[in-house]
Amino acid sequence: MIKELENFKGFSAKKLPLADPLASGHRACQGCGEVLALKLAMKAIGMNSIVVSATGCMEIITSTFPQTAWNVPWLHVAFENAAAVASGTEAALKVLMRKGKIPQKHIDIVAIGGDGATADIGLQSLSGAMERGHDFVYICLDNEAYMNTGVQRSSSTPYGAMTTTSPPGKKSFGQATKKKNVPAIAVAHNIPYVATASPAYFLDLMNKAKKAALVKGPAYLHIYSSCPTGWRHGGDLAIEISKLAVETNVFPLYEVIEGKYIINRKITKPKPVAEYLKKQGRFRHLTDDLIAQIQRQVDEEYDKLLKLAGETA
Amino acid sequence: MAKRIGMEVSIAASEAVKLADVDLIAAYPITPQTHIVEHLSEVVADGELDAAFVPVESEHSAMSCCIGSSAAGARTFTATSSQGLALMHEILFIAPAMRLPIVMVVANRALSGPISIWNDHSDIMAEQDIAWIQTFAENGQEVFDLVLHAFRVAEDSKVLLPVIVNLDGFTLSHVIEPIEILDKAEVDKYLPPYKPKVRLDPRKPVSMGLVGIPEIYTEAKKATNEALINSKRVVLKAWKEFGDLFGRYYNPVESYKTEGAEVILITMGSISETAMTAIDKMREKGMQVGLVRFRLWKPFPAPEFKKAIAGAQTLAVVDRALSPGGACGPVAEEIKAALYAERGRPKVYNFIAGLGGRDVTVENFEEIVSKAFTYAKKRPKQLYEMIGVREI
Ligand SMILES: Cc1ncc(C[n+]2csc(CCOP(=O)(O)OP(=O)(O)O)c2C)c(N)n1
Ligand code: SF4
């Protein structure tokens, strides 16, 4: 157990922080699961924080001049460099405090990026920042495509999904590659805390965001973030689909604390993946064969996770 | 008290950064800039300087890290060259737009391809439109002085813009010169501590780097441009005060033997010293030639430049970078544009020299001047000319 986490009791539904670093009045699409996830994570981390945002949906919808939805200091520089910018901010605050130029007080540095900003173009800067050991939280809001530019595939887009650059056609069934496992990449950097979370399990998500902020050194949080616009599902379904993703083992919830895997919600009787896929327009073209193939992939990945956690099905 | 000591110019640059008591240095190695960050890493490791030394994984991240640091209110420095500067390109525009007073030393080097580690100005001339204040040093003393000047100007509340100090790679960066190094008390008299007006602080939240909708983008660009143009007043004032304190006075452009000159050579950076030798030689032969060199490159010091060349009939502009497919090199282009509306403007001939580390010799300058005299009588056939090309 990490020392900083020993006294953390966890949030309860009755006693949630009142203040919201990310205010309402932002411009996200109706029913956006990503902004909900971000809002919950920031509520947990709290007002004593500085947020660095990569270019993407969450940046655009919260910062259209002359308005801002941010109640905490917020900085956006570019698409691929949130982790590098956060490195600078974190290192600068530390030295300014050491030199007595600003008051000595812990401030949480939070870098946020979409799956494109994290798994693709920003992977280098994320890797560099984790390797250097900056004390910051990196949150990947994974909506499984480049949504801000109009639903193009990323390396986090799941196998078979339709996007505007992985369209199904006579010779294609949609995304032909498997989703990149960024949490595993983060784990490989030997950082103290890595976790996955989902807005459908909001207390779990908030607890993980807070833990990520509490630990010293880099922490990586990978949050499932449904996107009704890109996934082609109803604006009222974000939570239902997020829940199904966990219940089908498509998106398992786990933590990796100092390298040790812990499955937080072990699904003993998973629902068929088809139940999850059928609710979303992006999988509408899939044949039964492909669905069976995806089921096999999900089972295999979950088995691997069980092994890592030292558990059996 | 200031001490005059023999020192490698790169080390002098980092000594100035040390004396400026920077808070954060983002570092990524590239020849010929490397000695600067290496020396800084040593002074931090030895506790001579209390600063965060962030050994980032690329120059793109170096500039990103600098922006995060400067936004947090820290005095921030980095240095690079060539491919590294090119890799920063995207992020370079964002620092002035956010009004962040980052200081960067660029040890100028040719850009690939072919890959070349040697000096010319093609790296920095590809970064013309980034709204950073830019100066060019001629010798080691200037490098040291211009770095201190850079912090002083950048952080002035009337400026708040990033500054690049350019120095020629190898031909200046790796040379050992006698340099007068100011002491800490002297530097403190010149450079007050940086007190940012706005910074990332949870007690007073601000949002930085917001979306610029079409209704405000033009206005935002205009504001940054005006800040850059207006920075010249502070640039000049800070040089005047430097001179008053330490006896070395600097100007945006420097003239050498321009009285009565028919042809004026225009240069930047360390080749100016060779050019001066060439001027001396030609003057001895009775030729009416002089030299004007830029120390301040951006904002372009138009009035000072026009004054410096007044009376000359012909300018021979030496560019250290090629603008492929263009009408002339980048320096000549700027000069031609600045003079176009002038009555009785001089003729401007452009010579591209010293690419990728090719020596620019006294003989080259003599050739350039002699060509300029000829062209003044008989128009050249080409828009510009490359000097010292070996025909195989
Ligand atoms: C260097 C660069 N390339 C491309 C873009 C265009 N761009 C902006 S946001 C974006 C996609 C963002 O996707 P993601 O990170 O997944 O976040 P989302 O919008 O889905 O939340 C792209 C491609 C850019 N801003 N910068
Ligand atoms: S496109 Fe998707 S992720 Fe972006 S704001 Fe809309 S619903 Fe949210």
* B5 within 8 A of B179, measured Cβ to Cβ: yes
pLDDT of residue A312: 85
Residue A313: pLDDT band by 50, 70, 90 thresholds? Answer: confident
Indicate which residue's Cα is closest to atom 4 of ligand 1: A79
Regarding pTM above 0.95, the answer is yes
Q: List the single best residue of A93, A131, A136 to mutate versus B (max B Cβ within 10 A).
A: A93
Q: State the average pLDDT over residues B246-257.
A: 98
Instruction: From chain A, pick out residues whose CB is under 8 angstroms from the CB of B92.
Output: none
Two structure tokens written together for A20: 């919201």
CA dist B357 and B120 (Å) reads: 6
**Neighbour tally for A106: CB within 10 Å:** 11
Instruction: Dump pLDDT digits (tens) for A88-120.
Output: 999 999 999 999 999 999 999 999 999 999 999
Q: List the single best residue of B57, B70, B89 to mutate versus A (max A Cβ within 10 A).
A: B57
pLDDT of residue B1: 79
The 10 Å CB-count burial string (b at 16+, else e) for A132-152 is bebbbbbbbbbbbbbbbeebb
Two structure tokens written together for B135: 């100066």
Q: How far is the CA of A229 from the centre of ligand 2 (A)?
A: 6
**Neighbour tally for A240: CB within 10 Å:** 14
ipTM: 0.97
Instruction: Dump pLDDT digits (tens) for B25-53.
Output: 999 999 999 999 999 999 999 999 999 99
Q: Chain A contact for B54, CB < 8 A?
A: yes
Instruction: Dump pLDDT digits (tens) for B190-213.
Output: 999 999 999 999 999 999 999 999
pLDDT averaged over every residue in chain A: 97
Give the ligand whose atoms come closest to the C-alpha of residue A229: 2
Please provide residue B337's backbone torsions phi and psi, each rounded to the nearest 5 degrees: -65, -40
For residue B250, give the nearest of B335, B172, B165 by alpha carbon: B165
Q: Write out residues with Cβ below 6 Å of ligand 1.
A: A 34, 55-58, 79-80, 113-117, 141, 143, 146-149, 154
For strands B3-8 and A254-257, give the pairing. Answer: unpaired
Which residues are CB-contacts of A297 (< 8 A; sequence separation ≥ 6)? A159, A178
pLDDT of residue B391: 84
For residue A148, which atom of ligand 1 is closest to its CA? 19
Please provide residue B13's backbone torsions phi and psi, each rounded to the nearest 5 degrees: -60, -45
Q: State the average pLDDT over residues A153-173.
A: 98
Give the ligand whose atoms come closest to the C-alpha of residue A29: 2
Q: Write out residues with Cβ below 6 Å of ligand 2.
A: A 28-29, 32, 34-35, 57, 61, 143, 147, 227-230
Q: How far is the CA of B63 from the centre of ligand 2 (A)?
A: 29
* B149 within 8 A of B135, measured Cβ to Cβ: yes
* Single-letter residue type at B344: G
Cβ of B23 within 8 Å of Cβ of A68? The answer is no
Instruction: Dump pLDDT digits (tens) for A265-293.
Output: 999 999 999 999 999 999 999 999 999 99
In this complex, which of B54, B76, B210 lies closest to A87 when CB atoms are compared? B54
* Single-letter residue type at B279: I
3-state secondary structure of B208: strand
pLDDT of residue B250: 98
Cβ of B68 within 8 Å of Cβ of A88? The answer is yes
Q: How many residues does chain B have?
A: 392
Percentage of the residues of chain B whose pLDDT score is greater than 70: 100
Q: Is the pLDDT of residue A1 over 90?
A: no
pLDDT of residue B138: 97
